[in-house]
Amino acid sequence: MPTKSKFFKQLLIWRYKFISEKNFIFIVALIIGLLSGLVAVTIKNITFTIEAIFEKGIILSENSIYFILPVIGLLLVYLFTKYISKKPSEHAIPSILYSLSKRNGLINKRKIYLPLITAPLTVGFGGSVGLLGPAIASASAISSTLGQWLHIDRKTRSLLIGCASAGAIASIFKSPIAAIIFAIEVFSLDLTFASLLPLLIASVSSVITSYFFLGDSVLFNFIVSEKFQIKDTLFYILLGIGTGFASIYFTKIYFAVTSIFNRFKSPKHKLIVGGLAIGVMLYFIPPLYGEGFGFINDLMLGNDTKAIGNSIFDSYIDNIWVVIALLFGITIFKTIAMTMTMAAGGTGGVIIPTLVTGSALGNLVAKIVNNCGLGFSVSEANFTLIGMAGLIAGVLHAPLTAIFLIAEITGGYELFVPLMITASMAFIINKNILNHTIYTKELLEKGALLTQDKDKNVLTIMKMDAVIEKNFIVLHPEMTLGDMLKNAVAKSNRNLFPVTDKDNNFMGIILLDDIRTVMFDQALYESTTVETFMHRPPEFIIYEKDNMQQVMKKFQESRAWNLPVLKNEKYYGFISKSKLLTAYRKELINFTS
């Protein structure tokens, strides 16, 4: 440890002498991009190795009882969590967003390696989740740890965490532009040259890392064979409406299933219930197994039979309406299987399951249009592709990410117009009904969410403890006026006095102005008490409940200069408007400089 500290100390001294701050950030962004690419490659290779073992039949043959594998994977994650990591896994993106808003971008270094173990166990054994979230979590932890070692300030550390997330996405999807936009839309980074260039450097270096280790293979084998035609516009609008409402279903089901599992006090009960439910769903709907990239590729290639897989409905697969019904089942149950996998203790992300659900819905809509008997014909491959963009736009509230992600990973730039139509429609519908996403709901409720609104961001970052003042002399209601003047007014440099009972329960306040007309009337010194003069303040601040946005709002509405703070229903201190505004201005300068 001393050797490491000495090394970084010498490195920092050398850096301050020879490298400017701007160039230093570019260099660190490059390193983080390379490391993020390595993380993505590592997590993919570990997972694919596990999957390959089962595909070759070393453990199970003919895939006849494949649906029990996710239960085994969840059990292994449970054992690892209980006996080795001893800490339950967290949803990657929300935990990172919370670190950015409330922990100054500090992420526990344990999160570097934990996702690299639990995510492959979950997905490699067929858990219905994605690898992108865990890859982002691990890369962000690396970025945060490196930032701490190099003594990088909070704002730059937040930017570098955005670089890590962009690098992970760029490496997995080989889509550097979408990765940059994701960091800006989801992590609410400033769209300035100072932030854009490090994001670009990280994304490109991560993509190069992916090409170096994985070659030029792409996730989706897609060539645009049917270009956009104006006559199809109405159907793309219809797809946008469908993906918009589907994204609302996706989000609501996620929280509903999560809420049900939160009622189980024991992780064992979650594992048993979740594992059995996932097994049943996989038995009837095999495409729910694993991430689902193969399913998407088969749909785009028009291989419906291979996409749907072997199931109890094989004898009816020649009927197109049975295929449509099965695709509808995948659209409905992929969300449930994904949420149950995570709620039962598995580790994974939501972006790739969202792509799978969107592809099924897009293909479903195209098949209905082509087989409704009205003489219409649309490209099923194009609708499969654009359905993914629509659902991503709605679920993540990130329409630009959706458009560029799908365009880049498939080379489908010729479909930019329908991509924009569908993604914008889905986003508008979801945004008008839901103010939150899977990533942001809990953070929004806690007042811990960073947005593009700088005013809200500054208030979110501010800590209440930093503005609470406690140097007030406390009075009790039975104290006489004489005692108050002698033991409080004469000894205090404040013109405000809180009144509490013996148990520190807050009862009211007294201002110096309240007693100014009687403070020299000695006849009242023994005959009147504090209770005579105290009154309720115009508003209270509840320490456990109110965030800094609510505190600022209470000051604006009450027009008070000081408001009392109650903690556990006891008097805790005061916040003054002057100190609050001074702290706000200081944080705003730090945030925008």
Helix and strand numbers (H, E) in the chain are 25, 6
Structural contact between residues 498 and 474, judged by C-beta atoms closer than 8 angstroms: yes
**Residues present in the chain in total:** 593
Please write the tens of the pLDDT for every residue from 168-189.
Answer: 999 998 889 999 999 888 887 7
- CA atoms of 341 and 288, how far apart (whole Å): 11
CATH 3.40.50.1110 fits 2-214, yes or no: no
Confidence (pLDDT) at 1: 47
For 436, the 3-state DSSP assignment is coil
Residue type, 188: S
Confidence (pLDDT) at 59: 45
Query: Taking the complete model, does pTM exceed 0.75, yes or no?
Result: yes
Structural contact between residues 547 and 460, judged by C-beta atoms closer than 8 angstroms: yes
For 318, the 3-state DSSP assignment is coil
Confidence (pLDDT) at 332: 95
Confidence (pLDDT) at 494: 85
Interior angle at CA 263, CA 262 and CA 268, nearest 5: 80
Residues of the chain with pLDDT under 70: 1-5, 8, 55-66, 190-193, 216-219, 221, 411-412, 446-457, 589-593
Residue whose pair of structure tokens reads 């469908």 in the numeric block: 242
**What CATH fold (topology level) applies to the domain 456-592?**
CBS-domain (3.10.580)
Indicate the domain borders of the chain: 2-214, 230-452, 456-592
Residue type, 88: P
Instruction: Give kind and range of the element (H or E) at residue 234.
Output: helix 233-262
Confidence (pLDDT) at 4: 58
Structural contact between residues 420 and 274, judged by C-beta atoms closer than 8 angstroms: no
Burial readout 153-180 (b: 16 or more C-beta within 10 A, e: otherwise)? ebbbbbbbbbbbbbbbbbbbbbbbbbbb
CA distances for 260 relative to 101, 267, 272, 340, 439, angstroms: 28, 13, 14, 10, 18
Residue whose pair of structure tokens reads 């993906």 in the numeric block: 243
**230-452 against 456-592: fold identical:** no
**What CATH fold (topology level) applies to the domain 230-452?**
Clc chloride channel (1.10.3080)
Closest CA to 448 of 465, 438, 461, 436: 461
Please write the tens of the pLDDT for every residue from 337-376.
Answer: 999 999 998 999 999 999 999 999 999 999 999 998 888 8
Angle between helices 132-149 and 351-371 (to 10 degrees): 150
Confidence (pLDDT) at 15: 75
Kindly report the average pLDDT of the chain as a whole number.
86
Closest CA to 92 of 136, 44, 143: 136
